[in-house]
Amino acid sequence: MARAQSPRRRLLMTLAAWSVALLIFFPVLWMVITSFKTEASAVASPPEFLSADWTLENYAEVWARSDYPRFFWNSVVISIGSTLLGLAVAIPAAWAMAFVPAKRTKDLLMWMLSTKMMPAVAVMIPLYLVFQRTGLFDTKIGLVLALMLMNLPIIVWMLYTYFREIPGEILEAARMDGAGLWNEILHVLTPMAIPGIASTMLLNVILAWNEAFWTITLTTTKAAPLSAFIASFSAPQGLFYAKLSAASAMAIAPILILGWFSQKQLVRGLTFGAVK
């Protein structure tokens, strides 16, 4: 709803919008700034901006003190693995719900979403025990499964809202040409659905990457991802601000950058198609 406005008003609005945006972004910025300071400079009072002692030492030390590459690799495997597995299960379901809707499809979708409202803490002990017994505890495959199931309702919902916008006539035409069910999915539907699948994938990689409860509860060392890595850094009071900031920056940087590149695709998917 862009409308013509006087230059003065425009300048004022620009200033106001930029101030608000910088204020929201500031905590992240301040964390990054702090991560390049020496520990003494990080806790100096009054706070130091330009006069601070700048250093890369914190990153070097965090890198040396912990096995960052392993945590990073675990995060990558768990978030991408759980998303791909989730897509494999959800794509047929969402396709069927969108193109061959039954009487109960809407209820089924609502039920799926409602499973996400069950507080994770409430079922923490049983899942912990199940994972211990089945040997899934502290394994990447265990976390892939857990996060896949955790995000499955969202994956189905998002795909469903995208698939529903694909015109049914195209499928009927393909059917007339004698295309079988799998051909229909592979050659007709999939190419049209790729943008929707891509943004579903992006959002779920981000959700899985940032998931902290199950990843910390169900791992100790072998399969621990970056959320567990950061939890191990946040204990000491005061003395290690710069290192904590460096570790935090290393934990969020990959997904922050991915998110920035894909924010346009994300926004629509996030609303389950409620906002166009």
Partner 1 sequence: MSTQTNRLAARLMVAPSVILLFIWMIVPLAMTLYFSFRLYRLLTPERTGWVGFNNYIWFLNSPDFWLAIWNTLALVGGVLIITVVLGTLIALLIDQPVKGQGVLRILVIAPFFVMPPVAASIWENLFMHPQNGLFAAIARGFGAQPILFLEQYPMPSVIGIVAWEWLPFATLILLTALQSLSSEQLEAAEMDGAGSFSRFRHIILPHLTRAITAVILIQTIFLLGIFGEIYTTTQGGPGSASTTLPYMIFKQAIVAKDIGRAAAGGIIAVILANIVAVFLMRGLGKNLDA
Q: Which of residues 62-81 bind partner 1 (CB under 8 A)?
A: none
Give the interface segment with partner 1, choosing from 53-61, 64-72, 76-84, 233-241 (CB under 8 A): 233-241
Contact set for partner 1, span 140-169 (CB under 8 A)? 149, 152-153, 156, 164
Closest distance between partner 1 and the C-beta of residue 61, in Å? 17
Task: Decide if 111 contacts 157 (C-beta within 8 A).
Answer: no
| 3-state secondary structure (DSSP) of residue 50 | coil
Closest distance between partner 1 and the C-beta of residue 244, in Å? 6
Closest distance between partner 1 and the C-beta of residue 199, in Å? 13
Q: How far apart are CA 158 and CA 152, in angstroms?
A: 10
Task: Decide if 38 contacts 57 (C-beta within 8 A).
Answer: yes
199, 204, 219, 245: which one binds partner 1 (CB under 8 A): 245
Closest distance between partner 1 and the C-beta of residue 72, in Å? 13
Residue 103 in the binding site for partner 1 (CB under 8 A)? no
Task: Decide if 189 contacts 166 (C-beta within 8 A).
Answer: yes
56, 125, 170, 194: which one binds partner 1 (CB under 8 A): 125
Residue 121 in the binding site for partner 1 (CB under 8 A)? yes
In the shown chain, the binding pattern of residues 200 to 229 toward partner 1, with x for contact by CB under 8 A and - for none, equals ------x--xxxxx------------xx--
CB count, 10 Å around CB of 274? 8
Q: What is the DSSP letter of 51?
A: T
How many contiguous H segments (helices) and E segments (strands) does the chain have?
Answer: 14, 0
Residue-level length of the chain: 276
Residue 230 in the binding site for partner 1 (CB under 8 A)? yes
Closest distance between partner 1 and the C-beta of residue 245, in Å? 7
Contact set for partner 1, span 3-42 (CB under 8 A)? 3, 5, 10, 13-14, 16-18, 20-22, 24-25, 27-28, 30-31, 34, 42
Smaller CB separation from partner 1, 153 or 196: 153
- Token pair for 260: 């920035």
Residue 127 in the binding site for partner 1 (CB under 8 A)? yes
- Token pair for 90: 């959800």
Residue 60 in the binding site for partner 1 (CB under 8 A)? no
Q: Which residues contact 162 (CB under 8 A, 6 or more apart)?
A: 94, 193, 195, 196, 197, 199, 200, 269, 273
Closest distance between partner 1 and the C-beta of residue 269, in Å? 11
Burial of 137 (0-12, 13-18, 19+ CB in 10 A): buried
Rg of the chain over all Cα atoms, to the nearest angstrom: 23
